[in-house]
Amino acid sequence: MADPNPHERPLDFADRPERLIKLEEVSRRVGLGKSMIYQMIKEGRFPRPYKISPFASRWSEQEIVAWISDVKDGFEGKKRKF
């Protein structure tokens, strides 16, 4: 089956426009609660949010994806139980 438009290709994650995401989505993606996220930020172990208004903070989706990848890379060579 041929591609409907051979000139279009799916965008790699790095090619996508930057998205800023809310704490709820960050928490869901990384599997950590709000308190743990803020504790890890304080310790320098988690990406800091961007303050977009006096009452709103957002995280870079690309930075969160990179953090997840770094955490997963830390398990290389170690046995994991599934």
Instruction: Measure Cα distances from 56 to 7, 16, 26, 61 in Å.
Output: 39, 23, 14, 16
pTM beyond 0.75, yes or no: no
Q: What is the CATH number of domain 19-72?
A: 1.10.238
- What pLDDT, on the 0 to 100 scale, is given for residue 74? 80
15-40 per-position pLDDT tens digit = 677 999 999 999 999 999 999 999 99
In contact, 64 and 26? CB cutoff 8 Å: yes
Domain coordinates of the chain in residue numbers?
19-72
